[in-house]
Copies of this chain bind each other. A is one copy, B any other.
Amino acid sequence: MIKVGVVGGTGYTGVELLRLLARHPMVKLQAITSRGDAGSRVDEMFPSLRGRVDLAFVAPQDARLEDCDVVFFATPNGIAMQQARALVDAGVRVIDLAADFRIKDVSEWQRWYAMEHAAPELVHEAVYGLPEVNRESIRGARLVANPGCYPTAVQLGFLPLIEAGIADTSILVADAKSGVSGAGRKAEVHTLFAEAADSFKAYGVSGHRHLPEISQGLARIAGAPVGLTFVPHLVPMIRGIHATLYAKVTGAIDLQALYEARYRDEPFVDVLPAGSHPETRSVRASNLCRMAVHRPQGGDVVVVLSVIDNLVKGAAGQAVQNMNIMFGVEEELGLDVIPVSP
């Protein structure tokens, strides 16, 4: 059994981790920490877990995380970077669901996240946990930087195009839409039901923190910087991300075959038949990314539609997938949830 600790279990990625880990046949949940709610039962805050998680939140200092085999950080940005060093030194493997170790260029990270990095040397070591790109490195990693939700949907969608070298990477557009749970379980006015329901808007057009993360990933594949315009939007739904991707391509390639071949062996990427329009509900509560590729009117603009559940493949599910890879168990273990539809 893999002994697991979760730091920061009171947000949406935290409770989603618990939903997945509680059913995972190889996992023993050791500790769930919370500074503010230490002492109170987990299932009191999250009644959905009654009968499945029989733990109380503990204060970080009482959690004995160094006895775990792996620790997940489901914390705000800036927490994991302060604690990862000690855990890694103690032989504990770390998976950070926040952004602390995602950007290789520390000064760029500091600009976007507006704080000093506490463990720049670990940034270099950390493996970016997108299994479809980095599976082999993840296997041996001591520290995994779990990708952001938008970056997962966008990178997986662009990947085959860019790997094939047929896209004009100087002008890529990612028009992305997210359910409101992506904003986290924080008391804020703009994500109140009465604000976000029955409405739609873009946000962060001038610059969103996921932009450098996506650009870095695409550039790595392209072997050169890319010109990406990324516009996120807020959708009045709870879960789900839909990325609509636009790229100019050159040459007459069979895009459907390209995408199917690229993802044939990926357990969590599903290329739909030509002409499809994936819905976010077709992946709700599951670790899948479904996508479709179009070339409207046979022109030179390719449109890729890519959907994930932001809390699963976009966060907790991908983290568990990374854990499975790191510990050499079957990659789909504990992740066999069938999407909940309708």
B-binding residues in A (CB < 8 A):
12, 15, 19, 22-23, 46-52, 171, 173, 175, 177, 179-181, 183, 185-189, 191-203, 205-207, 227, 229-231, 233, 235-240, 242, 244, 246, 248, 270, 272, 275-285, 290, 294, 296-297, 299, 301, 303, 305, 307, 336-342
Contacts and interface: CB of A to CB of B under 8 A. Distances in A.
A297 B175 CA distance: 16
Copies in the complex: 4
B191 A281 contact: no
Closest 3 pairs (CB-CB, A-B): A199-B281, A48-B341, A48-B339
A47 B192 contact: no
Given A200-B280, A340-B340, 12 more contacts: A48-B341, A171-B248, A185-B195, A191-B192, A192-B192, A199-B284, A200-B240, A205-B294, A205-B296, A229-B299, A231-B296, A337-B337
A180 B193 CA distance: 7
Interface centre among A51, A233, A305 (most CB of B within 10 A): A233
A299 B205 CA distance: 12
A15 B242 CA distance: 23
A236 B237 contact: yes
